[in-house]
Amino acid sequence: MEAPLAHYFIFTGHNSYLTGNQISSDCSVEPIIESLKRGVRVIELDMWPNSTKDDIDIVHGGTLTAPVKLNKCLEAIKTHAFLASDYPVILTLEDHLTTDLQAKVAKMVTETFGDVLYYSGSDTMIDFPSPDSLKKRIVVSTKPPKEYLDTANSMTENKESSMKIKTLSEEDAWGVELSDTFEKQMPFDEDHKDEEFQYEEEESMKQSLEPEYKQLIAIQAKKLKGGVQDWLHNDPTAAKRISLRETRLQKAIESHATDVIRFTQRNLLRVFPKGSRVDSSNYNPLMGWTHGAQMVAFNMQTHGRPLWLMQGMFRANGGCGYVKKPDFFLKNDPDDKIFNPKNTLPVKKTLKVKVYMGDGWHLDFKRTHFDIYSPPDFYVKIGIAGVQADSVMKKTKIIQDDWKPKWEEEFEFPLTVPELALLRVEVHEYDMTEKDDFGGQTCLPVFELQSGIRAVPLHDQKGDKYKSVKLLMRFDFV
């Protein structure tokens, strides 16, 4: 934990204050508290002037979301920041404020956090500090200020779009399969004002920044200018953070994958969901991780396969919210061949998994939960999420009418990049006429799996561990 922050994947939230969709749900401290309890280390708050322009609201600007006060959010962060992990909480602030309100933010933040707040003492850092050196500290990251934008008009413009949100059915426990999450860009994305391009402020505006506010900013988030190579310019005198929406990252890695990876050796790259995800859905996080992105920002309130992967990755390293990136991402010798996840690589090791049996459903579920008249029909889907060459899903046979199914099946997974591989496990209850019922899931970092026979606890859709449901499995590496 003693390397610079840029050497770690960091458990990162997006619009951390939202309880539901991006357009019309409530803003609240509850999702912030829930995220921190689960070990999330990056909390995002969007700061806007309130209706009387004398206080700060946390709200998704230009939408019908109901605001929550900044001071409530700061208090919630202070109380819950270090319950799950002692390692630093990074507070990313999207600032839409006038200078007088920036001064008010500075006062609130310093009074709330006190000695816990980290000050860098300098405008620039050659390298970011380490998680170890920032233990039990709160670190503020934001961009320089921009002109205050009145959102009254955009509020009414968005009213119509809020009526068109597709709600994720509670019955659809699984969500989309991961291969479907690399979607084509939607027309909405073209029109949607990008987070990363909302900050085309003039350099002279920086002079108006309140000094008390400026000294809060420990990690400078930089605006994007020019093309991909300009964004990814590596300034040897100053480490920085930039933000890219998922579709822009996707475009960048098509032709500049190694530039993205080289950039992330010293600088922080934050990836966030595209604008058309008004239902607060998520993307495949491997797109960011396989290219070295540290802050893969997720809507933590939306459960399903992408979030299960996120939870799986951050079960690693004791669940502290920071996972060291593999060494091959950090080689910066000019003669070194930079890692590229698209390259065809030899198999490094093969993971052999045997699924023996499962138990515990009869204790955690009602007798009629799966089928009214008969015991459940369970099968297991098991596979790898990682670089494209390693990603695959397989399944066992269906065991009919049995609360304690015995599969006794073995699977082999050849891995070219085991350092980025996650083992996906889903238990389905087969339903001939409808969608399979949900019987549990887990996701485990392959790089921390130990050989041997293991009782593997399963989790519900939210990622909470069942009291009793487990699979008996064996892991071997050859």
Distance between CA atoms of 146 and 137, rounded to whole angstroms? Answer: 27
Distance between CA atoms of 211 and 171, rounded to whole angstroms? Answer: 51
Using pLDDT thresholds of 50, 70 and 90, give the confidence band for residue 153: very low
Q: Of 280, 300, 329, which residue constitutes the final position of a domain?
A: 329
Indicate whether 374 belongs to any domain.
yes
Nearest to 425 by CA among 414, 413, 441: 441
Q: Of 294, 329, 364, which residue constitutes the final position of a domain?
A: 329
Q: Quote the pLDDT of residue 355.
A: 98
CATH number at residue 471: 2.60.40.150
Residues 107 and 22 in one domain: yes
Please say if the pLDDT value at position 147 is more than 70: no
Nearest to 25 by CA among 63, 74, 57, 61: 63
**What is the pLDDT averaged over residues 72-99?**
96
φ/ψ of 214, rounded to 5, equals -60, -40
Q: Which domain holds residue 382?
A: 349-477
Q: Quote the pLDDT of residue 333.
A: 59
Using pLDDT thresholds of 50, 70 and 90, give the confidence band for residue 308: very high
Indicate whether 98 belongs to any domain.
yes
Indicate whether 379 belongs to any domain.
yes
Q: Quote the pLDDT of residue 254.
A: 93
Distance between CA atoms of 97 and 103, rounded to whole angstroms? Answer: 10
Please say if the pLDDT value at position 438 is more than 50: yes
φ/ψ of 321, rounded to 5, equals 90, -5
Residues 9 and 42 in one domain: yes
Q: Of 269, 301, 329, which residue constitutes the final position of a domain?
A: 329
Nearest to 266 by CA among 1, 3, 6: 6
The number of domains in the chain is 2
Lowest-confidence pick of 208-212, 252-256, 461-465: 208-212
Measured CA angle at 143 (ends 43, 39), to 5 deg:
15
Please say if the pLDDT value at position 46 is more than 90: yes
Sole residue written with tokens 């475009």: 251
Residues 227 and 371 in one domain: no
**What is the pLDDT averaged over residues 248-269?**
94
Residues 105 and 223 in one domain: yes
Please say if the pLDDT value at position 143 is more than 90: no
Q: Quote the pLDDT of residue 145.
A: 56
Beta-bridged to residue 337, according to DSSP, are none
Q: Quote the pLDDT of residue 227.
A: 82
% pLDDT > 90, the chain: 75
Residues 96 and 221 in one domain: yes
Residues 308 and 225 in one domain: yes
List of long-range contacts for 25-30, beta carbons under 8 Å, 24+ apart: 25/65, 25/66, 25/280, 26/65, 26/66, 26/68, 27/58, 27/59, 27/60, 27/65, 27/66, 27/67, 27/68, 28/68, 29/68, 29/72, 29/73, 29/75, 29/76
CATH number at residue 50: 3.20.20.190
pLDDT for 279-291, tens place per residue?
999 999 999 999 9
Give residues with Cβ within 8 angstroms of 212, minimum separation 6. Answer: 103, 106, 107, 110
Lowest-confidence pick of 7-16, 133-142, 229-238, 244-253: 229-238
Residues 414 and 375 in one domain: yes
- Assess contact for 420 and 397: CB atoms under 8 A: no
Q: Quote the pLDDT of residue 186.
A: 40
Nearest to 72 by CA among 61, 60, 83, 58: 58
Indicate whether 286 belongs to any domain.
yes
Indicate whether 156 belongs to any domain.
no
Please say if the pLDDT value at position 158 is more than 70: no
The one-letter amino acid at 172: D
Residues 360 and 312 in one domain: no
Residues 257 and 402 in one domain: no
Burial class (CB in 10 A: 0-12, 13-18, 19+), 432: exposed
Q: Quote the pLDDT of residue 350.
A: 98
**What is the pLDDT averaged over residues 30-40?**
98
Alpha helices in 375-442 (DSSP H): none
Q: Mapping DSSP to helix (H, G, I), strand (E, B) and coil, where does residue 266 land?
A: coil
Please say if the pLDDT value at position 413 is more than 60: yes
Using pLDDT thresholds of 50, 70 and 90, give the confidence band for residue 222: confident
> What is the separation of C-alpha 274 from the centre of its chain, rounded to a whole number of angstroms?
13
Angular region, 401: left φ>0, alpha ψ -120 to 50, beta rest: left
Indicate whether 415 belongs to any domain.
yes
Residues 269 and 235 in one domain: yes
User: How high is the mean pLDDT of the chain?
Assistant: 88
pLDDT for 59-71, tens place per residue?
999 899 999 999 9
Indicate whether 36 belongs to any domain.
yes
Residues 276 and 359 in one domain: no
Residues 38 and 139 in one domain: yes
Q: Which residues are catalytic?
A: 14, 60
Please say if the pLDDT value at position 321 is more than 50: yes
pLDDT for 164-219, tens place per residue?
454 444 346 677 777 644 444 443 344 344 444 444 443 334 445 678 888 899 99
Beta-bridged to residue 110, according to DSSP, are none
Q: What is the DSSP code (8-state) at residue 27?
A: B
pLDDT for 335-384, tens place per residue?
468 899 999 999 999 999 999 999 999 999 999 999 999 999 999 999 99
**What is the pLDDT averaged over residues 112-138?**
94
Please say if the pLDDT value at position 220 is more than 80: yes
- Assess contact for 399 and 355: CB atoms under 8 A: no
Indicate whether 247 belongs to any domain.
yes
pLDDT for 327-339, tens place per residue?
999 987 554 688 9
Query: DSSP per residue over 154-220, as a string?
Result: HHHHHHHHHTTPPPPPTT--S-S-GGG-SPPPPHHHHHSPPGGGS----GGGGGGS-HHHHTTEEEE
Q: Give the pairing type, strands 295-298 and 378-385.
A: unpaired
